[in-house]
Amino acid sequence: MPETASANIGVVGLAVMGSNLARNLASREGNTVAVFNRSPERTRTLVDEHPEAGFIASESYDEFVASLQKPRTAVIMVQAGKGTDAVISELTARFEPGDIIVDGGNANFHDTIRREAEVRSHGLHFVGMGVSGGEEGALNGPSLMPGGTAESYETLGPILRTIAAKAPEDGEPCVTHVGTDGAGHFVKMVHNGIEYADMQLIAEAYDLIRQGTGKSPAEIADIFAAWNTGELESYLIEITAEVLRQVDAATGEPLVDVILDAAGAKGTGAWTVQNALDLGVPTSGIAEAVFARSLSSKAAQREASADLPGPAEAWTVAPEDADAFIEDVRRALYASKIIAYSQGFDEIISGAEQFGWNIDKGEIAKIWRAGCIIRARFLNRIAEAYADDPSLVALVVAPYFRDAIAGAQESWRRVVQIAAGAGIPTPAFSSSLAYYDGLRAKRLPAALIQGQRDFFGAHTYRRIDKDGVFHTLWSGDRTEIETEPSWH
Ligand SMILES: NC(=O)C1=CN([C@@H]2O[C@H](COP(=O)(O)OP(=O)(O)OC[C@H]3O[C@@H](n4cnc5c(N)ncnc54)[C@H](OP(=O)(O)O)[C@@H]3O)[C@@H](O)[C@H]2O)C=CC1
Ligand SMILES: O=C(CO)[C@H](O)[C@H](O)COP(=O)(O)O
């Protein structure tokens, strides 16, 4: 048991994220970091490998809590779900009013809302904090999305600002108080949904170029590296080039050709879509990205379907057209990426309304500029768009994005047409374009759907030419009556 409470912050959970976050904290002036892990071996390994960090290590919750200065602050970095609840229960039993428990795991924000209320009932602060950037980000500077009370952020904010990534444009730390209770984890969830869409779009771009031009992964790596110097500049484009360039030591083949084509998922993308459905937000590009991973993992169905008929003729791009095709794909990728972010921010707006959070969209764009997986040059444009018009209804109508899509849309349409004709699945490219055209449409066939609903279920409809709610007597003389609204 430590003789004095000497740490100003503690970390519970010392797997890849917690150990790196603890080292990041310890490297900042003024911090003394207490560390604890359920299995003591991890704690011992961390302390042995990093004596320079000056960790105060504990092998029990009692010791850990005793090593923290009051008011105590502990960051939990454990497996989200039951592990988080177990640690919260141990800390809550030992912490005192005014102490702060931070959950930096990928928690479901509904759990965070529940936990915040429960922990608050003990007089403690609970901060659900989204952390993005993986292992490297946790160590050198993640993007941080804390929720919780403004009061807890007064204590926590200065420490978080020191460990967060710094935006390359202005050096601003990538952290902001997102909103109360589950707001931070909600925004992190949407971040991950956008991450799924971004990754799927990149994968579709790669697939089209590979199948269309026959270029090798290494050649396509060069294309992505070139794209990374322009408007598509982003971490995900950068690492795509790295992955495509990698050669498998065992076979000498490109690594991408020996990796099983079944994409995993831990659940945050699915949460984004589940909540979008609950909120009535059309995040179709993100949904397609989640479903594309599911489809890729349906081994039996894919095997059984492998001989199903496709296009009669094989498709390739003539060598003299290859550069133009690749440029079309680049533009289609940029336009679709804008849609993915537009849908993600739409979900943030609706979630904020639903849960009573005052989320500053421009600040969210700013804290995603560095440290996180979706960091990208064009986040500056999103921040500018919300600075120009904080009540912007959709990113796609902001002047910069409107112009960007105007410049890309002919390419985008060609790419989707070619993919459909060639039988190459591009669910994210295609659904993003359909979403864009759906938003643009002066009139949608939803009118027919309303007519059908009224026919079979008397669900009623509204008219374009007068107020009120109407029903046609379909089973009677088919005259129209004004009526009470049915449920939706
Ligand atoms: N990996 C990544 O890139 C990112 C991860 N995250 C999130 O950060 C958190 C930590 O991730 P990561 O470092 O990958 O670790 P894991 O998600 O693999 O979790 C392992 C850690 O959880 C601890 N743990 C599990 N169950 C319990 C329990 N009941 N009581 C106490 N401790 C428990 C383990 O302790 P023990 O050693 O005893 O088993 C270990 O320290 C997760 O919530 C994850 O979703 C967020 C952003 C990125
Ligand atoms: O949170 C993250 C980055 O922001 C993680 O990397 C994320 O959990 C990866 O998700 P998945 O395993 O579902 O692809």
CA 315 to chain centroid, in Å, comes to: 34
| Mean predicted lDDT score pLDDT of the chain | 97
- Per-residue pLDDT averaged across 352-375, rounded? 97
Q: Is the CB of 106 under 6 A from ligand 2?
A: yes
Instruction: Give the relative orientation of helices 183-213 and 235-245 as an angle to the nearest 10 degrees.
Output: 40
Catalytic pick among 90, 188, 215, 347: 188
- Per-residue pLDDT averaged across 74-82, rounded? 96
CATH 3.40.50.720 domain position(s) in the chain: 9-184
Q: Does domain 188-440 fall into CATH 1.10.1040.10?
A: yes
**Other C-beta atoms lying within 10 Å of the C-beta of residue 368:** 27
To the question of whether residue 200 is assigned a binding role by annotation, the answer is no
- The pLDDT assigned to 5 comes to 83
CATH 1.20.5.320 domain position(s) in the chain: 445-482
CATH 1.10.1040.10 domain position(s) in the chain: 188-440
Q: Residue 326 pLDDT > 60, yes or no?
A: yes
CATH number of the domain located at residue range(s) 445-482 in this protein:
1.20.5.320
- Per-residue pLDDT averaged across 395-416, rounded? 97
Residue to mutate, 14, 17, 135, ligand 1, most ligand atoms under 8 Å from C-beta: 17
pLDDT tens digits along 64-73 = 999 999 999 9
Q: Residue 408: which of 177, 232, 161, 204 has the closest Cα? A: 232
Phi first, then psi: give them for residue 375, nearest 5 degrees.
-55, 135
Q: Is the CB of 418 under 6 A from ligand 1?
A: no
Residue whose Cα lies nearest atom 17 of ligand 1: it is 79
Q: Is the CB of 38 under 6 A from ligand 1?
A: yes
- The pLDDT assigned to 487 comes to 63
> Lowest mean pLDDT: which of 3-7, 313-317, 444-448?
3-7
pLDDT tens digits along 177-208 = 999 999 999 999 999 999 999 999 999 999 99
Phi first, then psi: give them for residue 289, nearest 5 degrees.
-65, -40
Name beta bridge partners: 282.
Answer: none
pLDDT tens digits along 144-159 = 999 999 999 999 999 9
Q: Which band of pLDDT confidence, cut at 50, 70 and 90, is reported for residue 486? A: confident
CB 378 within 8 A of CB 394: no
- The pLDDT assigned to 341 comes to 98
Q: Does domain 9-184 fall into CATH 3.40.50.720?
A: yes
Q: Residue 3 pLDDT > 90, yes or no?
A: no
Residue to mutate, 11, 45, 79, 129, ligand 1, most ligand atoms under 8 Å from C-beta: 79
Q: Residue 254 pLDDT > 70, yes or no?
A: yes
To the question of whether residue 78 is assigned a binding role by annotation, the answer is yes
Q: Residue 109 pLDDT > 80, yes or no?
A: yes
pTM of the entire structure? 0.96
Residue whose Cα lies nearest atom 28 of ligand 1: it is 83
Taking the CA of residue 266 as reference, the ligand 1 atom at the shortest distance is: 45
- The pLDDT assigned to 304 comes to 98
- Per-residue pLDDT averaged across 67-86, rounded? 97
